[in-house]
């Protein structure tokens, strides 16, 4: 029987590449995104590659709707082995000094990067415990380094890192693997047209391609580490 993965925050970059990698390894895939158009596009691309895909629309900031979407996917998939939470928040709007941070935006990042992560993990945990499954979380280096203008996302990611550290310790005895993946920089999307249209980079962002990781690199490393189930805090950087 094939294994199953659910990806929350499935987009054209890391979400797509992780879905593709796991799909090629025989997994059935469940996708969640706030945008129906994004889901239709991803589902079509993955199905062309022969991957079984189900999808649900949900705003990850609404934990009730998110958990409902997860429940539907678990029912459609017939179970769950890997839960990947990949919602970054509205990064393009967040690059500013902390003294200028709007309360609403700061609260949204804490909701998307901390509260919704915890509540959704609590929701899927009984199934993952039964299957000795895995929880994967994407993050960034601003969880530990105060890069200029990354205070909003960095504060949320620092809280996320601490929360996942606790969960890693608590879930070891339950044989549920927890993998926390801080990425060195925004991964390059394999589709050049989609890469050119992305809106999650700060104005004037300059980093040559030979210094950036790719979304495909991230997917390969995540699958490798999730298969090993030995490491928790895994930095993904350009080799």
Cα dihedral 219, 221, 223, 226 sign: negative
String of DSSP letters for 186-214: PPBPSSHHHHHH---S-TT----GGGS-B
Residue 204 reports pLDDT greater than 60: no
Mean pLDDT of 98-111: 98
Q: pLDDT value at position 211?
A: 76
Indicate the pLDDT class of residue 207, thresholds 50, 70 and 90: low
Q: Which CATH superfamily hosts domain 4-228?
A: NAD(P)-binding Rossmann-like Domain (3.40.50.720)
Residues 189, 15 contacting (CB under 8 angstroms): no
Indicate the pLDDT class of residue 208, thresholds 50, 70 and 90: low
Higher pLDDT, 239 or 51: 51
Q: At what angle do helices 151-171 and 103-110 cross, to 10 degrees?
A: 20
Residue 136 reports pLDDT greater than 70: yes
Q: pLDDT value at position 56?
A: 99
Nearest to 111 by CA among 163, 58, 56, 63: 63
Nearest to 61 by CA among 128, 13, 109, 17: 109
Q: In the predicted model, what is the mean pLDDT of the chain? A: 95
pTM: 0.96
Residue 116 reports pLDDT greater than 70: yes
């Amino acid at each position: 029987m094939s294994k199953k993965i659910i990806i929350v925050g499935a987009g054209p970059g890391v979400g797509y590449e992780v879905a593709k990698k796991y799909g090629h390894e025989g997994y059935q895939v469940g996708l969640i995104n706030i945008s129906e158009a994004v889901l239709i596009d991803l589902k079509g691309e993955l199905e062309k590659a022969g991957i079984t895909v189900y999808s649900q629309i949900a705003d990850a900031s609404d934990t009730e709707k998110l958990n409902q979407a997860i429940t539907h996917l678990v029912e459609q998939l017939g179970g769950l082995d890997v839960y990947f939470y990949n919602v970054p928040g509205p990064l393009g709007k967040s690059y500013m000094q902390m003294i200028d941070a709007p309360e609403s935006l700061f609260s949204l990042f804490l909701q998307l990067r901390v509260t919704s992560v915890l509540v959704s993990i609590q929701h899927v945990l009984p199934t993952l415990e039964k299957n000795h499954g895995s929880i994967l979380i994407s993050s960034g280096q601003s969880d530990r380094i105060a890069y200029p203008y990354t205070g909003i996302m960095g504060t949320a990611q620092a809280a996320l890192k601490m929360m996942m550290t606790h969960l890693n310790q608590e879930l070891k005895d339950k044989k549920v693997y927890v993998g926390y993946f801080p990425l060195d920089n925004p991964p390059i999307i394999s589709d050049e047209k989609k890469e050119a249209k992305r809106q999650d980079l700060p104005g004037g962002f300059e980093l040559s391609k030979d210094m950036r990781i790719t979304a495909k690199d991230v997917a390969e490393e995540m699958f490798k580490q999730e298969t090993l189930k030995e490491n928790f805090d895994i930095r993904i950087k350009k080799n």
